Amino acid sequence: MTVKIFDTPEVQDFLNSVAGFDQAGGNERAKRIMHRLLSDLFKLIDDFDVTQEEYWSAVDLLNALGHETQFGLLSPGLGFDHYLDMRQDAIDAEAKRTGGTPRTIEGPLYVAGAPEAEGFARMDDGQDPDGETMWLTGQVRDLDGNPVPGAKVEIWHANSKGGYSFFDKTQSEYNLRRTIVTDGAGRYTARSIVPSGYGVPEGAPTDQVLKALGRHGERPAHIHYFVSAPGHQHLTTQINLAGDPYTYDDFAFATREELVVPAQRIDDPAEIARRELDGPFA
Ligand code: MBD
Ligand code: FE
């Protein structure tokens, strides 16, 4: 049997009470947003004839997500993170703040407090037997193309199994997480290992939601960046290593064409030896 009650005065009065519209205290914006959110959900229940069983299984799922601290993982999967970035892009465009490296999402796996270095850092602890050496080098420039010395470049990425230190307790503290301050020419160099793509844990609440949508939880191999300097807008971005099967099929919708970079293989032994010195190379 299907009944429709949403538009009745009783339900509308009830919603006003639940959102605290007839109470003096509280926060006006919180009230208006909660009223809208509950209205949309109550209407959804009416429109889809959501059963009590369906409702309580949704409550169980939300509890499981919270218990495993996975709201932050489901969030990019449901597109919230990218949607907020699309809005920020539009806000910046409106304010004529355009150009430079595009932003993309932070994701749920940043950890503050990584070791800080000047100009160069080795990021891996040498404990990953499948780790293939990778050098990252770049230059922070302002919108006029001038180098920015002393900029903070925070880099974090997964190991060869797609795991992130702190969350993956088999890794040493702050493995593959560093803050590098750019040198006098605005440059930074890191020695690390090639990351693998990330996959949402099998069977986890986030995975259950994605499976119900017929979707996977894979991300292509990527490297996260925060770039900041006094007087400049903070940049949150990532680069993707080109050639990954998930480059254009990222469950977190974070790929942007300008951020897909081809790696260059170094085979010349002399060049490898020069770089093995573990320092910024000329
Ligand atoms: C990641 O490594 C990530 O970057 C995002 C956005 C989601 C899950 C894992
Ligand atoms: Fe990531």
| pLDDT tens digits, one per residue of 57-83 | 999 999 999 999 999 999 999 999 999
Q: Which of 188, 101, 93, 104 is nearest to 145 (CA)?
A: 101
* pLDDT recorded at residue 275: 84
- Asked whether residue 120 falls in the same domain as residue 257, the answer is yes
What tokens were used for 14? 């009830």
Residue 53 burial by Cβ neighbours in a 10 Å radius (0-12, 13-18, 19+): exposed
Asked if the structure places residue 191 within a domain, the reply is: yes
Ligand 1 atom at minimal distance to the Cα of residue 238: 4
Mutating to test ligand 1, I would choose from 69, 83, 85, 198 the residue with most ligand atoms within 8 A of its C-beta, which is 198
Ligand nearest to the CA of 106: 1
Alpha carbon nearest to ligand 1 atom 4, residue: 107
- The rounded Å distance from CA 182 to ligand 1 centre is 26
* pLDDT recorded at residue 59: 98
What residues does 153 pair with on adjacent strands? Answer: 180, 227
Tell me the mean pLDDT per 10 residues along the chain, length 282: 94 98 97 98 98 98 98 98 98 96 98 98 95 96 97 98 97 98 97 97 97 98 98 97 97 98 93 78 60
- Asked whether residue 131 falls in the same domain as residue 251, the answer is yes
- Asked whether residue 256 falls in the same domain as residue 146, the answer is yes
Asked if the structure places residue 10 within a domain, the reply is: yes
* pLDDT recorded at residue 29: 98
* pLDDT recorded at residue 281: 66
Alpha carbon nearest to ligand 1 atom 5, residue: 107
Place of tokens 């109470």: 23
The answer to whether the beta carbons of residues 165 and 177 sit under 8 Å apart is yes
- Asked whether residue 112 falls in the same domain as residue 218, the answer is yes
Pairing outcome for strands 152-157 and 177-181: antiparallel
| Binding pocket residue ranges, ligand 1, CB within 6 Å | 73, 76, 105, 107-109, 198, 219, 252, 254
Here the ipTM equals: 0.98
- The rounded Å distance from CA 1 to ligand 1 centre is 43
- Asked whether residue 43 falls in the same domain as residue 98, the answer is no
Residue 143 CA to residue 97 CA, distance in Å, equals 10
Asked if the structure places residue 65 within a domain, the reply is: no
What does the buried/exposed string (b/e) look like for 72-85 if buried means 16 or more CB atoms within 10 Å of the residue's CB? ebbbbbbeebbeeb
Domain span at residue 32? 1-48
The CA dihedral of 230, 231, 236, 237, to the nearest 10 degrees, is -100
* pLDDT recorded at residue 278: 64
Asked if the structure places residue 62 within a domain, the reply is: no
Residue 207 CA to residue 200 CA, distance in Å, equals 6
Ligand 1 atom at minimal distance to the Cα of residue 107: 6
* pLDDT recorded at residue 2: 85
Residue 211 CA to residue 277 CA, distance in Å, equals 47
- Asked whether residue 17 falls in the same domain as residue 127, the answer is no
Q: What amino acid occupies position 104?
A: T
Mutating to test ligand 1, I would choose from 65, 68, 109 the residue with most ligand atoms within 8 A of its C-beta, which is 109
The answer to whether the beta carbons of residues 190 and 222 sit under 8 Å apart is no
CATH number at residue 199: 2.60.130.10
Length of the chain: 282
| Cα dihedral 112, 113, 119, 120 sign | negative
Residue 174 CA to residue 251 CA, distance in Å, equals 25
For the chain, the distance separating the N- and C-terminal CA atoms, rounded to the nearest angstrom, is: 75
Residue 39 burial by Cβ neighbours in a 10 Å radius (0-12, 13-18, 19+): middle
Residue 74's Cα: distance from chain center in Å? Answer: 11
Looking at residue 69, the DSSP 8-state letter turns out to be T
Ligand 1 atom at minimal distance to the Cα of residue 81: 6
Total of domains in the chain: 2
Pairing outcome for strands 187-193 and 177-181: unpaired
